[in-house]
Amino acid sequence: MIKNILKITQKNQPFVRYYCNYYGQKNNNTPYSTDPVENQFEIKNRVTKYNEQYNKHKTIVPFYNKNSITTPTETGLYPRDSSVFIAPSASIIGNVNLGAGSSVWYNCVIKADKNYIHIGSYTNIQDGTIINEAPRPLSLNHNGSTIIGDFTTVGHSCILEACTVEENCLIGMGSTLETGSYVEANSILGSHSILPKDARVKSGELWAGRPAKFIRKLTEVEILDIHNQAFQYTLNGNDHSESLRLKDDSYIYADAEKQGIEVGFKGEYYSN
């Protein structure tokens, strides 16, 4: 069973991997949806007067194309799948994609104001982590984006910038991945480690230290545990989403209406 799972996590991977081009080579790659995002203020006679766009104070912010010939158009990418959990107080800014079953926990900041950040399916970004891309290309093979694969765990208070982490990896809490660093599939970076610029963790290896260095090869059981831990966070995210009722409109607006206070946008586009 373990060997079968390892084969699944490694399928379709080329022998030579090139930084941010890696996910473009996958046959099943569907990085994000290009469907237009509904703008609540442009729909006439909407039944719900007060729809809290940034539900429960989480921040999901697109960027706008100021050079559009007509009206500014949204260029930021929203997470679209209902199975994604974004905690209140987390901020998702710009060109960020979150795969199905992924989770972003409390006080995280994920910001892509120049390039792109991809976070795979069933991957969790734990509390206080900061993920950025680079403002400009790092090399001919690296456009400065940050790519994180499926079934990967990024621990508490990590910093990732313009790096690549393939699927089924564990990044220990408090670790830093500097620009151009790379972690191949089925690997672990130990807690409070610093992976230097352009350093590369090979598949199936444990690295740790400041700067991080090779420690040993991982066992099959350890690699399977990475997968199981990531999936457990998907279940935890579902529990938090239901407990906080994040799919509902915030109670703040309902309470304000009862008190006769006008909250949010109200105008000719809404019927009484």
pLDDT of residue 255: 60
Say which range, 97-101, 163-167, 215-219, 266-270, has the weakest mean pLDDT. Answer: 266-270
What would be the CATH architecture of the domain defined by 53-249? Answer: 3 Solenoid (2.160)
Q: Lowest-confidence range among 40-54, 164-178, 240-254, 256-270?
A: 40-54
> pLDDT category, 272, cuts 50, 70, 90?
very low
Helices (H) and strands (E) in the chain, counts: 3, 21
% pLDDT > 90, the chain = 45
Report the candidate in 122, 47, 57 with the shortest Cα–Cα distance to residue 87.
57
pLDDT at 95: 84
pLDDT tens for 75-123 read: 565 566 778 898 888 888 888 889 999 999 999 999 988 888 999 999 9
Position 186 pLDDT exceeds 90: yes
What pLDDT score was predicted for residue 113? 82
Is-cis flag, bond preceding 31, omega within 30?
no
The answer for residues whose C-beta is within 8 angstroms of residue 13's C-beta and 6 or more apart is 166, 185
Residue 271, pLDDT score: 36
Q: Is 36 helix (H, G, I), strand (E, B) or coil?
A: coil
Q: How confident is the model at residue 242 (pLDDT cuts 50, 70, 90)?
A: confident
Residue boundaries of the structural domains of the chain: 53-249
Q: Is 260 exposed, middle or buried (0-12, 13-18, 19+ CB in 10 A)?
A: exposed
Radius of gyration for the alpha carbons in the chain, expressed in angstroms and rounded:
20
Q: What is the pLDDT of residues 26-52, one digit of tens each?
A: 444 444 444 544 544 444 444 343 344
150-168 pLDDT, tens digit per residue, is 999 999 999 999 999 999 9
Q: What is the mean pLDDT of residues 184-188?
A: 96
Kindly report the number of other CB atoms within 10 A of residue 111's CB atom: 18
Q: Going by C-beta distance under 8 Å and a sequence separation of 6 or more, which residues neighbour residue 133?
A: 112, 114, 115, 116, 117, 144, 145, 146, 161, 162
> Is 181 or 253 the better-scoring residue by pLDDT?
181
**Averaged pLDDT of the chain:** 76
